[in-house]
Structure formats: structure tokens, C-alpha cells
Amino acid sequence: MFVANDERSNQRLKPEVIIADKLYDFDSNLFRIDEMPESEIDSHAKEVAESVAKKL
């Protein structure tokens, strides 16, 4: 159970803003993510998840 005011949690975890599209290469000419094939979105999501998991 996570309690936001738990001192132990605050000492171990530090908030960090993650700009996901900086963690993978993509066609920057696309206007929105829904212009990307779903398989490519899934692949990028996996890349981001793996990158974030390495930091834990």
C-alpha cells in the first residue's frame, strides 16, 4: 500500500519529469501520435518503459 505522506517513501523515491519522446527516435514530421502505426507506438512504449525501469 502506498501512502503519500510516508517518510520512507519520500526518502527513496524522488519525483522526476520524463519526456518520453526524448527516449526514442521517431519521425518528428508527424503532427500527432495517432498518425504513427500502433505497432510503432507499442515499440516506443516498450523502449520508454525499459529506460525508466533501468533507473529504479
2 lies in a domain? no
Q: In whole angstroms, what is the distance from residue 48 CA to residue 28 CA? A: 17
Q: What is the pLDDT of residue 7?
A: 56
Question: Which tens digits make up the pLDDT trace of 1-54?
Answer: 344 555 555 567 778 888 887 888 777 776 676 777 899 889 988 999 999 888
Containing domain of residue 45, as a range?
7-55
Q: Which of 7, 36, 12 is nearest to 24 (CA)?
A: 36
Q: What is the pLDDT of residue 46?
A: 92
Domain count, the chain: 1
1 lies in a domain? no
